[in-house]
Amino acid sequence: MSTRPIIILDANILIRAALGVRARDLINQYQKNINMLAPQPAWSDALEKLDITLPKRGISSELLHGSSGRLDALRTAVGSIPLSFVEGERENAFARIGKRDPDDWPILAAALTLNCPIWTEDQDFFGTGVATWNTELVEIFLSR
């Protein structure tokens, strides 16, 4: 891995980048300066939410199709981390976040493994001992 700073992206950021503009623009603008990574379960979670949850909320199939394509396109800017890479921090991560959201342990484990922050809109990561950035403020980290 290069000496560039690293940030782990939560599934909700992948979804925001697929559906919206701000997160996608930040990823595109800073991808050459920062290693942006997401554990494989975050990609699966984002795709599931796009494919299953959003149609139930009345998102049109046209918008959904375009968003799924944009999610796939993000894979060139945001690297995927295999679950096996973060498995060594599973127990530690689960102890820190398991009571709040056990499904988020791979995100936290990735940040612990790589000693880096998390870009998320999920408050469940607060107090886990890892720096978190939201979309409103993440540019402070990305632009350094």
Summarize pLDDT for 2-61 with one digit per residue, the tens.
589 999 999 999 999 988 899 999 999 999 999 999 999 999 999 888 877 666 666 665
Summarize pLDDT for 91-142 with one digit per residue, the tens.
999 999 988 999 999 999 999 999 999 999 999 999 999 999 999 999 999 9
User: How far is the C-alpha of 10 from the C-alpha of 130, rounded, in Å?
Assistant: 13
Edge-first strand order for the sheet with 118-119 is: 78-81, 35-39, 6-9, 118-119, 132-133
Determine the angle formed by the axes of helices 105-114 and 90-97, rounding to 10 degrees.
120
Domains within the chain, CATH numbers bracketed: 6-142 (3.40.50.1010)
Q: Share the mean pLDDT of the chain.
A: 90
Percent of the chain exceeding pLDDT 70 equals 88
* pTM tops 0.95: no
Q: Which H helix or E strand runs over 38?
A: strand 35-39
Q: Is 78 left (phi over 0), alpha (psi -120 to 50) or beta?
A: beta
